[in-house]
Amino acid sequence: MTTADSATTPDLAEFLVSCWRIGAGQDRNRIPTSPWILDRALKDLRDSGALPEWARDALHFADSRIGLQCIELQSILEWAQSAQLTTAPNPSYRYAEIAISEKAASVFLRRLNIRKTDAERWGQQLRDRVETAKAAMAAISTP
């Protein structure tokens, strides 16, 4: 069982990408990477208590000059890309393609002692919060 003290960047990357792949519905092949969107969604999910305790405790957030940031997210996304869990973000840096199959995601989740039903729920909740964050961002940028 992973704990906050032992949660590594690879654990967090495998968890995030696998939950997204398994639970994000038709959006499961593209994970957002643009600033603020995924950060806000992860914070909302963490604050709701929905994530496993080790993941909640391993994610930290700060208000920065560009808005809310998950301190670990850049490292998580970079590790996911270098481990070929995702592709490099598209030229606009808004999305990365998920490069692992659902079967591979299931293997990662088993290693992390995560049930598939929990991963599906967290992936769906994360996707829903991403949509909420996108809508909030659109409302801010609309004159």
- Per-residue pLDDT tens for 7-39? 899 999 999 999 999 987 776 788 998 878 999
- For residues 89 and 54, the model is more confident at 54
**How many domains is the chain partitioned into structurally?**
1
- Is residue 4 a part of any domain in this protein? no
- Per-residue pLDDT tens for 111-128? 999 999 999 999 999 999
- Is residue 49 a part of any domain in this protein? yes
* Residue pair 49/67 in contact by the 8 Å Cβ criterion: no
CB-based contacts of 89: which residues, under 8 Å, 6+ apart? 33, 77, 81, 95, 96
Please state, for a pLDDT cut of 70, what percent of the chain lies above it: 92
- Is residue 36 a part of any domain in this protein? yes
- Is residue 143 a part of any domain in this protein? no
Nearest to 8 by CA among 102, 96, 72, 61: 72
- Is residue 141 a part of any domain in this protein? no
pTM of the model: 0.89
- Is residue 2 a part of any domain in this protein? no
The domain of 116 spans 9-133
- Per-residue pLDDT tens for 67-117? 889 999 999 999 999 999 999 877 777 889 999 999 999 999 999 999 999
